[in-house]
């Protein structure tokens, strides 16, 4: 999971971990990545693709700007 570390000003020895992306965003990105990979062999993975598609719909991001940002990240990763 993507995380950011933040140190407390009062205690430099303690490190608090704060999530940069939400659990729903992480779930959506993971489902999108697996969906993209398994879609290459659709005939072998039909049931898995159906489940991933349902999971993508369940983890749907309602905010348009947030959804565009995640789509751009997924597309950039796919082009690598």
Sign for the CA dihedral angle at 2, 29, 46, 80 comes to: negative
Dump pLDDT digits (tens) for 19-55: 677 888 888 888 888 998 898 888 888 999 999 999 9
Residue 51's pLDDT is what?
Answer: 92
The pTM is what?
Answer: 0.61
| DSSP notation for 37-76 | HHGGGTTT-HHHHHHHHHHHHHT----HHHHHHHHHHHHH
């Amino acid at each position: 999971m993507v995380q950011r570390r933040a140190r407390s000003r009062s205690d430099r020895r303690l490190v608090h971990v704060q999530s940069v992306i939400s659990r729903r965003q992480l779930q959506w990105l993971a489902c999108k990545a697996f969906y993209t990979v398994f879609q290459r062999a659709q005939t072998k993975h039909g049931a898995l693709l159906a489940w991933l598609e349902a999971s993508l719909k369940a983890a749907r991001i309602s905010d348009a700007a947030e959804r565009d940002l995640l789509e751009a990240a997924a597309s950039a990763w796919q082009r690598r």
